[in-house]
Amino acid sequence: MHRIILASKSPRRKKLLEQIGFTFEVIPSHAEENPTKSTPEEVVCELAELKATEVAASQPGCFIIGSDTIVEHEGEILGKPATPEEAKTTLKRLSETTHRVYTGVSFVKTDKNAEITGYHSFYEQTKVTFSALGEEEIDAYVKKGHPMDKAGAYGIQDDLGAIFVEKIEGDYYNVVGFPINRFFRELKHFYPELATLS
Ligand SMILES: Cc1cn([C@H]2C[C@H](O)[C@@H](COP(=O)(O)OP(=O)(O)OP(=O)(O)O)O2)c(=O)[nH]c1=O
């Protein structure tokens, strides 16, 4: 039986996988997130793969899961904001429009020499529509919420983040950072021996 490793420092990803009773360890990746691809779906798969393969290099006999989330708005990819000011600009931009959240997931398997013996990547897209956001709401969120470690400068799961979202189309958990439903379907299909829940 392979050890299962989540190559992520995201507390949300860990919590979502624990929530379904999946058994795994966490070893965060320190890979530089510099994508070479340009479309959102390619970028999230590339970065998910990068995180998983970086951890895989030192982990023999393992099954490693990497993941990456970005927001795409009017053709532009929005990652995490660099400053609170940038978080405000991003939220103003997302106000009264629809954006898409992409999360890529990568499965990487290693043998006893930590050589990669197989991998599989996929992504999920969720459409999110924000209502019109006032300056005060944005200021309050950037002050009291948690915009800095989130793609698109918001967390749909944050207490105050709830006031932004008018409509969502697709998997809610994909917006939070991990498409649990798709993940488990892919696992059952490609690695049924690992699709066990406690
Ligand atoms: C849009 C949105 C993003 N996010 C988060 C999910 C991701 O954790 C984060 C995007 O950053 P990522 O680079 O995908 O992940 P991370 O840096 O948190 O963790 P790691 O690279 O170690 O796996 O944004 C939310 O929590 N809620 C939201 O509504």
DSSP assignment of 49-110: HHHHHHHHTT-TTEEEEEEEEEEEETTEEE---SSHHHHHHHHHHHTTSEEEEEEEEEEEEE
54, 146, 149, 175, best to mutate for ligand 1 pocket (most atoms within 8 Å of CB): 149
Q: Is residue 173 lining ligand 1, measured as CB closer than 6 Å?
A: no
Please state whether beta strands 3-6 and 165-169 pair in parallel, antiparallel, or not at all (unpaired): unpaired
- Whether 159 is catalytic is no
Per-residue pLDDT for 73 more than 90?
yes
The label of the residue with tokens 């999110």 reads 128
CA distance 62 to 58: 10
* Separation of CA 91 and ligand 1 centre (Å): 16
ipTM of the complex: 0.95
Contact 4, 63 (CB under 8 A): yes
Atom in ligand 1 nearest the alpha carbon of residue 101: 1
CA distance 182 to 49: 17
Residue 90's CB is within 10 A of a number of other CB atoms, namely: 25
Overall average pLDDT of the 49-53 stretch: 98
Report the largest interatomic distance among the alpha carbons of the chain, rounded to a whole angstrom. Answer: 56
Catalytic one among 68, 139, 158, 171? 68
Question: pLDDT of 5-44, one tens digit each?
Answer: 999 999 999 999 999 999 999 999 999 989 999 999 999 9
The label of the residue with tokens 């624990």 reads 18
pLDDT for 122 equals: 98
pTM (predicted TM-score): 0.96
pLDDT for 182 equals: 98
Per-residue pLDDT for 2 more than 90?
no
Can you state the percent helix, strand and coil of the chain, rounding each to 5?
35, 25, 35
9, 10, 14, 106, best to mutate for ligand 1 pocket (most atoms within 8 Å of CB): 10
Q: Is residue 110 lining ligand 1, measured as CB closer than 6 Å?
A: no
Of residues 52 and 161, more confidently modeled? 52
Q: Which CATH class is domain 3-194?
A: alpha beta
pLDDT for 142 equals: 96
pLDDT for 54 equals: 97
**Of all residues in the chain, what percent carry a pLDDT higher than 90?**
95
CA distance 161 to 61: 40
Atom in ligand 1 nearest the alpha carbon of residue 28: 22
The closest residue, in CA terms, to atom 19 on ligand 1 is 10
Per-residue pLDDT for 1 more than 80?
no
Q: Is residue 27 lining ligand 1, measured as CB closer than 6 Å?
A: no
When pLDDT is cut at 50, 70 and 90, the band that residue 50 belongs to is: very high
Per-residue pLDDT for 79 more than 80?
yes
User: What would the two tokens of residue 136 be?
Assistant: 């005060």
Please state the φ and ψ torsions of residue 65, each to the nearest 5 degrees.
-115, 120
Overall average pLDDT of the 40-62 stretch: 97
The label of the residue with tokens 């998983």 reads 52
CA distance 35 to 117: 23
Contact 46, 38 (CB under 8 A): no
Atom in ligand 1 nearest the alpha carbon of residue 44: 14
The H or E element spanning position 113 is none
